[in-house]
Amino acid sequence: MSGENLEEYGLKRWGKKGLKTPEEYIESLRKLDLKIYMFGERVKNFVDHPIIRPSINSVAATYEVAHDPLYADLATATSHLTGNKVNRFTHIHQSVDDLAKKVKLLRVLGQKTGTCFQRCVGMDALNALSIVTYEIDQKMGTNYYQRFLNYLRYVQDFDLVCGGAMTDPKGDRSLRPTKQADPDLYLRVVEMGDDGIVVRGAKMHQTGCINSHEIIVMPTITLREDEGAYALSFAIPSDAKGIIYIYGRQSCDTRKLEGAPMDVGNPTYGGQEAVMIFDDVFVPWDRVFMCGEWQFAGRLVEVFASYHRQSYGGCKVGVGDVLIGAAQTIAEYQGVANASHIREKIVEMIHLNETLHACGLACSYEGYKAASGTYMVNELLANVCKLNVTRYPYEIARLATDIAGGLVVTMPSEKDFRSPEVGKYLEKYLKGKADVPTEYRVRILRLIENMVIGLGAVSYLVESLHGAGSPQAQRIMIRRQVNLEEKQRFAKKLAGIPS
Ligand code: SF4
Ligand code: FE
C-alpha cells in the first residue's frame, strides 16, 4: 500500500474500474481480509454470516439503484475530476441540485431497505474533506487537498464504499484527550516517520465499517494547541494490518439464526455497527489528510456533522415511509382504517415525516459554494433537521405501535404458525379481516415490531437520536449559527427600546 500508485493498487485489488453491480460489490467484499470478532470468536466468512449478511444487502442496494433507469439521475453523477459517471455516494457536490438529489436518493434507499444502508457516512466524509483539506492548505501551506483528490479519484474509479470513523471512546467526558488516564481513549499518532504515521486508539459504533473497502478517520472534537497528536484525518483500506472489528449486538439479532425469517420482520435488510480498534496501524503519508493541524479539527467535525445531519432528512424519512405504510396496512387488515382517530394518526405521522424531509431539502437548497468549489449545506438548517430527527421518528413509532396494538410484541413465533399441532389455532384466532390471510397480518406486525422495538429500531430510533451527534451537539451548533442579537434588535425596535 505504501507509496504505491493508487490506480495500480486499485486495478490489482479490484480488477477493473467503473460502476460496480450489487453482485460485484458483494464479491469484492470476499477479497477483504478483515479481522472480525462476534460473540467472542473470530468470524471467518463474514459475507455469508446470517447476522451480517442483511447489512451487506443494504449497502448493495446503493449499487443496485445506480443501475436502475428509474433512479439513474438520483443515484449517479458526473465526476468533477474525470467527467466519468460515478455512483452519487462517491460524488463531490457541485451544485445545490446535487445536495437536494442526495437527500432524495437517501429517501428512496430508506424506502427500499427500511433500515440504514450505511454508505452515506463515507460520502459525507469525502465531501467534508474536499472542503477542509483545501482550507488547511490555504492557511498552512500544506498539500492535503491534492492528496485528497488523488484518493478521491481512486474511490470514484473503483466505486468503493468508505466507512467514516469519527466517534472516539472519550473515557471521562470531563477530561481533555491528553488528561485521560489512558491517552489512547482518543485516537492519536504514536509515531511519525518518513513513510507515514502509526496510529493507535479506537472508534465506536462505526456504521457499516465491516462492509467498507476503505475507512476514513476524522477527529471527534474541537482541539487545542497541545492536542496536535489527536488532530488526525486519514484513509486506510478496511483490512489494513492492526485493525480489529468487534461486532455490535443489535436488539433481537439472534432471531436471524433461528431459521424463522418471518420473526425477523425485515429479514433481507439490516444496519450494522461495530467497534473498531486501531492497534498501531501504519498509514502512508499519501493517505493522510490532517496531521497536527489542531486549528482545523473542529471545522472538519462541523462540516462532516452538518452533511450527515442533512442526510437524516432523507434516510430516516424513507424508513418513516415504510413504517407509515405498515401502520396503514395493519389498520386495513384489522378493519379500523376508516376510524377517524386512525386516519388522524396516519396524517400526523405523514406530517411529522414530511417535516423532516422539508428540513433536509431546505438545508440543501440553502446550500452554498465553499472555497474549494464543493457545495456545502446550510449548517443552521441541517442542524435543525437533525434535531427534529431526534424526536419525530419516536412519535411516528409511538403512533404506529398504537395503531398496531399489543399483538406487535406478544405474537408466538413463526415455528408455532408452522406447527402441525398449534398452527391451526393461531391461523384461526389471529385472523383479522376474513379476506386477508392471517400470515399477512403477522408479517406486517413483525415488520412494525422490527422498526419500533426490534432490530430495525437501532437504525430508525436510537440512530435518529445519537447518529450524526446526540441532540445536545445540534443545540450547540444551532446556538452558534444563529444571530440572537439581531432578533433582540427586532424586538427592541418594535417595543421602542433603544439598542
Ligand atoms: Fe446513511 Fe442514514 Fe445510515 Fe447515516 S443513518 S449511514 S445517513 S442510512
Ligand atoms: Fe448514521
Amino acid at 88: R
SS3 5: coil
The alpha carbon of 43 and the centre of ligand 1 are apart by a number of angstroms equal to 25
Q: Tell me the longest C-alpha to C-alpha distance in the chain.
A: 83
Q: Which residue out of 120, 126, 385 has the highest number of ligand 1 atoms within 8 Å of its CB and is therefore the one to mutate? A: 120
**Which DSSP state fits 461?**
I
Q: How many angstroms separate the Cα of 317 from the Cα of each of 58, 113, 356, 360? A: 16, 12, 7, 9
Taking the CA of 89 as reference, the closest ligand is 1
Ligand 1: residue whose CA is nearest its atom 6: 118
Q: Cβ(125) to ligand 1 under 6 A?
A: no
The alpha carbon of 312 and the centre of ligand 1 are apart by a number of angstroms equal to 7
How many C-beta neighbours within 10 Å does residue 398 have? 13
Ligand 1: residue whose CA is nearest its atom 5: 116
* Location of C-alpha cell 398449534: 422
Residue-by-residue pLDDT tens, the chain, 499 positions? 444 699 999 999 999 999 999 999 999 999 999 999 999 999 999 999 999 999 999 999 999 999 999 999 999 999 999 999 999 999 999 999 999 999 999 999 999 999 999 999 999 999 999 999 999 999 999 999 999 999 999 999 999 999 999 999 999 999 999 999 999 999 999 999 999 999 999 999 999 999 999 999 999 999 999 999 999 999 999 999 999 999 999 999 999 999 999 999 999 999 999 999 999 999 999 999 999 999 999 999 999 999 999 999 999 999 999 999 999 999 999 999 999 999 999 999 999 999 999 999 999 999 999 999 999 999 999 999 999 999 999 999 999 999 999 999 999 999 999 999 999 999 999 999 999 999 999 999 999 999 999 999 999 999 999 999 999 999 999 999 999 999 999 999 999 999 7
Ligand 1: residue whose CA is nearest its atom 1: 120
Q: Cβ(206) to ligand 1 under 6 A?
A: no
- Tell how many helices (H) and how many strands (E) occur in the chain: 18, 14
Amino acid at 40: G
Q: Cβ(445) to ligand 1 under 6 A?
A: no
Q: What is the 3-state secondary structure (H, E, C) of 462-478?
A: HHHHHCCCCHHHHHHHH
**Residue spans per domain, the chain:** 3-73+81-92+118-293, 308-483
The alpha carbon of 467 and the centre of ligand 2 are apart by a number of angstroms equal to 4
Taking the CA of 209 as reference, the closest ligand is 1
Taking the CA of 208 as reference, the closest ligand is 1
How many C-beta neighbours within 10 Å does residue 161 have? 29
DSSP string covering 416-433, please? HHH-TTTHHHHHHHT--S
> Domain 308-483 adopts which CATH fold?
Butyryl-CoA Dehydrogenase, subunit A; domain 3 (1.20.140)
Q: Cβ(124) to ligand 1 under 6 A?
A: no
The alpha carbon of 195 and the centre of ligand 2 are apart by a number of angstroms equal to 33
DSSP string covering 113-178, please? HSS---THHHHHHHHHHHHHHHHHHHHH---HHHHHHHHHHHHHHTT--EEEE-----SSTTS-GG
In our burial notation (b when 16+ CB lie closer than 10 A, e otherwise), range 95-126 reads ebebbbbbbbbbbbbbbbbbbbbbbbbbbbbb
Determine if the pTM surpasses 0.85.
Answer: yes
The alpha carbon of 120 and the centre of ligand 2 are apart by a number of angstroms equal to 8
d(CA 14, CA 214): 13
What is the distance of C-alpha 391 from the center of its chain?
18
Taking the CA of 106 as reference, the closest ligand is 1
pLDDT 10s digits, 16-26: 999 999 999 99
d(CA 109, CA 92): 19
d(CA 65, CA 427): 38
Ligand 1: residue whose CA is nearest its atom 8: 116
Nearest alpha-carbon partner for 451 in 115, 54, 113, 59 = 115
pLDDT of residue 499: 79
Q: 429-434 — which CB contacts under 8 Å span 24+ positions?
A: 432/333, 432/334, 432/335, 433/332, 433/333, 433/334, 433/335
Counting from 1 in the atom list of ligand 1, the atom nearest the Cα of 271 is 3
Q: Cβ(207) to ligand 1 under 6 A?
A: yes
d(CA 193, CA 270): 41
d(CA 381, CA 311): 12
The CATH number of the domain covering residues in 3-73+81-92+118-293 = 2.40.110.10
Q: Which residues are catalytic?
A: 116, 120, 207, 273, 308, 312, 315, 463
Backbone phi, then psi, for 108, in 5-degree steps?
-60, -45
- Beta carbons of 232 and 187 less than 8 angstroms apart: yes
Q: Cβ(389) to ligand 1 under 6 A?
A: no
The grid coordinates listed for 82 are 474525470
Helix (H) or strand (E) holding 414: helix 414-418
d(CA 313, CA 280): 37
What is the distance of C-alpha 405 from the center of its chain?
30
The alpha carbon of 468 and the centre of ligand 2 are apart by a number of angstroms equal to 5
Its sign, for the CA torsion 238, 92, 132, 387, is negative
Backbone phi, then psi, for 15, in 5-degree steps?
85, -55
pLDDT of residue 170: 97
The grid coordinates listed for 343 are 386516519
- Beta carbons of 181 and 172 less than 8 angstroms apart: yes
Q: Which residue out of 102, 115, 118 has the highest number of ligand 1 atoms within 8 Å of its CB and is therefore the one to mutate? A: 118
d(CA 130, CA 152): 9
SS3 214: strand
Nearest alpha-carbon partner for 393 in 452, 445, 447 = 452
Helical H runs in 243-378? 297-333, 340-365
Interstrand relation of 214-217 and 232-237 (parallel, antiparallel or unpaired): antiparallel
How many C-beta neighbours within 10 Å does residue 295 have? 17
SS3 275: strand
- Beta carbons of 297 and 177 less than 8 angstroms apart: no
Its sign, for the CA torsion 42, 55, 76, 358, is negative
